[in-house]
Amino acid sequence: MKAEQLAPIGAALARLLSPHAEVVLHDTRTDEIAAIWNPLSGREPGEPALLGELAELAETDADVYGPYPKTLADGRRLSSVSAVVRDEAGDPAYVFCVNVDRTAFEEASRLLAAFAAPAAGQPRVLFEHDWSETLNELVAEFVRERGTPVDRLAKPDRLELLGRLDAAGVLSQRRSVPAVARALRISRSALYQLLGEARKEQHADPA
């Protein structure tokens, strides 16, 4: 097997992982780099392969190694895997190494971790009078409790939910009726009717 026969594999891997990885084909017989794609390390074909483990490769049946860590001269950290390509006699002929630069992935991980961090809470000065936020929270909490979508709530459930919204002061806010009707997926007239019943039940409650 010649290096030219393996070149399409190296080119395909490099194209798939570009620009985050270099792919290196080492010739074990010459201990040189036979080919390299997207050379993050700055190496070139013909340079020493520096595969000190070649003697060990000949004594083991393992053909894939890694991932294992490596570091570039500029401090970037890599995750690397190596695959041994054996000849017809079963001896190592070439070694493919794929070295992935972890920088972009580590930065993405830090960014996602920052987004996932617990929120500091809503500033009281901004949200203490935001009745629409209260409306959304109460409706969402009620739906979770019942395990039923808001548009499938039975009449007794709607009455109870309206009672909670009324007690929280949502329905006393200016222009709240259209928003509450939308949240409950009912018409304004239906809302007024249900609200009247809810308030009647509340006043009738001896508690």
The domains located in the chain, with CATH, are: 3-107 (3.30.450.20), 124-204 (no CATH)
Q: Is the pLDDT of residue 35 over 90?
A: yes
User: What is the pLDDT at residue 126?
Assistant: 41
Please tell me the distance from the alpha carbon of residue 108 to that of residue 85, in angstroms, as a whole number.
34
* Residue 6: band (very low, low, confident or very high) from pLDDT cuts 50, 70, 90: very high
The H or E element containing residue 24 is strand 21-27
For the chain, the average pLDDT equals 83
- Position 120 scores a pLDDT of 54
Q: pTM for the whole thing?
A: 0.53
**Termini Cα distance of the chain:** 90
pLDDT in tens, 47-96: 888 776 545 554 556 788 888 888 877 778 889 999 999 988 888 899 99
Whole-number pLDDT of residue 124? 46
Question: pLDDT category, 204, cuts 50, 70, 90?
Answer: low
What burial letters (b/e) apply to 143-176, b meaning 16+ CB within 10 Å?
beeeeeebeebeeebbbbbbbebbeeebbebeeb
More confident residue, 145 or 207: 145
Q: What is the C-alpha separation between 136 and 82, in angstroms, rounded?
A: 54
Query: What is the rounded distance in angstroms from the CA atom of residue 7 to the CA atom of residue 100?
Result: 19
The size of the chain, in residues, is 207
Averaged pLDDT, 187-197: 89
> Is residue 69 a contact partner of residue 76, using CB atoms and an 8 Å limit?
no
pLDDT at 203: 63
Query: Looking up tokens 């808001």, which residue turns up?
Result: 150
Burial 1-27 (b: 16+ CB within 10 A, else e): eebeebeeebeebbeebeeebbbbbbb
pLDDT of 121 reads 53
